[in-house]
Amino acid sequence: MRIDLHAHSTASDGTDPPGALAEKAVAAGLDVLALTDHDTTAGWETAAAALPAGLTLVRGAELSGRWYGAEPTVGLHLLAYLFDPGHGPLAAELARVRHSREQRAERTVALLNDGGIDVTVPEIREYAAGGTVGRPHLAQALIRRGLVGTVGEAFAPEWLGRRYRLPKADIDAFTAVRLVNEAGGVSVLAHPRASSRGHIVPDTLIAELAAAGLWGVEADHTDHSAADRAHVRLLARDLGLRVTGSSDYHGTNKTVRLGAFTTDPSVYEDLISTATGTVPLVGASRPPTPPTA
Ligand code: AMP
Ligand code: FE
Ligand code: FE
Ligand code: ZN
């Protein structure tokens, strides 16, 4: 079984629509794919409707979390799986963060305009195409202007990485873990040692999140060195957390391939037997389309 528990579609900052993503997962030899768009479940329905035979879809999301207990505060990403999307308080938090992302995009456009760069809000909205707005959509505008060559370059300190980086109103990390659990889901801390984001998530904080109900932690990830992966595994063992590995595929917005990292089947079995908010969906084989006369 090949299991990839972290992928993005056009419902956030990936470049493949949910249905095409599911098809690509099959082509990549995956048996299980989790759809984890940033702060939204908007892609769930389309992915479920287009689910190819042989693929199991784990519906999830990647929550923008933040620990406000230190100065500077610590941003983190929390993968949430198989939660009830109708859980009011969780859905409200996701909507609040998406709204904050819209406002951040507008303020970033204004800041870029002040810097003499003539990007516009409607243009950014067009790139986001109704999905959760993120910095990769601002990156597209910089690429179109020829100011940077790639999305990765757009995250350099002189661009969206620092100079034109503005905060959004992230979900308190402990609230996020609690709400995911209340909604019947399980939570996994994504890429805790991805230092390219400017910081790592401190082990002491991971220990506190574990005590507060965090279920697992992502060890195998493209932004983790071999030493990072080994460190996360040891920490997880000490804290009783499950360990996952995933691609964090974003289509052409990142260079990583679907299925580049995978999760152990025993961890997946544990996940699906723990979650109660919703079920994995299994793609049914469809009868062949009758020939048209
Ligand atoms: P946001 O959540 O809108 O602040 O944007 C963060 C997103 O930007 C991440 O989820 C990644 O998809 C993307 N990202 C962050 N750093 C990089 C990078 N160095 N290269 C490419 N994409 C990145
Ligand atoms: Fe992303
Ligand atoms: Fe992430
Ligand atoms: Zn991600």
Collapsing DSSP states into helix, strand and coil, what is residue 187?
Answer: strand
Tokens 């661009």 identify what position? 159
Residues 6+ apart with CB under 8 A from 274: 186, 215
The β-bridge relationship of strands 56-67 and 74-81 is antiparallel
Residue 287 has what pLDDT? 63
Please indicate whether residue 250, judged by its CB atom, sits closer than 6 Å to ligand 1: yes
Whether the pLDDT of residue 72 is over 80: the answer is yes
Give the pLDDT band of residue 158 (cuts 50, 70, 90): very high
Whether the pLDDT of residue 293 is over 60: the answer is no
Q: Which of the listed residues 6, 13, 138 should we mutate to test ligand 1's pocket, taking the one with most ligand atoms within 8 A of CB?
A: 13
The β-bridge relationship of strands 3-7 and 56-67 is unpaired
Residue 284 has what pLDDT? 86
Question: Could you tell me which residues are beta bridge partners of residue 65?
Answer: 76, 171
Rounded CA separation 279/83 (Å): 9
Whether the pLDDT of residue 138 is over 90: the answer is yes
Please indicate whether residue 189, judged by its CB atom, sits closer than 6 Å to ligand 1: no
Torsion sign over Cα 201, 207, 213, 215? positive
Residue 267 has what pLDDT? 98
Q: Which of the listed residues 9, 100, 151 should we mutate to test ligand 1's pocket, taking the one with most ligand atoms within 8 A of CB?
A: 151
Query: Cβ(146)–Cβ(119) under 8 Å?
Result: no
Please indicate whether residue 60, judged by its CB atom, sits closer than 6 Å to ligand 1: no
Whether the pLDDT of residue 77 is over 90: the answer is yes
Span from the CA of 191 to the centroid of ligand 3 (angstroms): 7
Give the pLDDT band of residue 12 (cuts 50, 70, 90): very high
* Mean pLDDT rounded to a whole number for the chain: 96
**Which ranges constitute the DSSP H helices of the chain?**
18-27, 44-49, 88-114, 121-128, 135-144, 151-154, 173-182, 203-211, 226-239, 265-274
Neighbouring C-alpha atoms within 13 Å toward the C-beta of 91: 7
Tokens representing residue 156 in the block: 């350099």
Whether the pLDDT of residue 200 is over 80: the answer is yes
Residue 199 has what pLDDT? 85
Whether the pLDDT of residue 197 is over 80: the answer is no
pLDDT (average), residues 158-166:
97
pLDDT (average), residues 286-292:
67
pLDDT (average), residues 63-69:
97
Residue 196 has what pLDDT? 72
Mutual angle of helices 88-114 and 135-144, in 10-degree steps: 30
% of the chain residues with pLDDT over 90: 95
Q: Which one, of 243, 191, 235, 188, lies nearest residue 215 by Cα?
A: 188
Per-residue 3-state assignment (H helix, E strand, C coil) for 248-261:
CECHHHCCCCCCCC
Residue 215 region by backbone torsions, left for phi larger than 0, else alpha for psi between -120 and 50, else beta: alpha
pLDDT (average), residues 94-110:
98
Residue 104 has what pLDDT? 98
